[in-house]
Amino acid sequence: MKISARNQIAGKITAITKGATTSHVSIDIGGSIITASITNEAVADLNLKIGEKATAIIKASDVMVGV
């Protein structure tokens, strides 16, 4: 599958925390963790499992930094 997002970071799923409707999926990208909030349905559709490879795909019009 081709996508337009340029920010694609490969890693491994380290945690999946399910809530009522949304899950938090943590991906280790080489010592740093990126966490995505996706629907529980998407977790099931993608058949996500801890320890499997996954790609964090970041598509944003703005990036904010605070200190």
Quote the pTM value.
0.84
CATH 3.40.50.720: does it fit domain 7-57?
A: no
- Straight-line distance from the first to the last Cα atom of the chain, in angstroms, rounded to the nearest whole number: 37
The domains of the chain are located at: 7-57
What tens digit of pLDDT does each residue of 31-66 get? 999 999 999 999 999 999 999 999 999 887 777 778
What tens digit of pLDDT does each residue of 20-31 get? 999 999 999 999
Label the pairing between strands 22-28 and 33-39.
Answer: antiparallel
- 3-state SS assignment for residue 44: helix
> Residue 40 in contact with residue 48, Cβ under 8 Å?
no
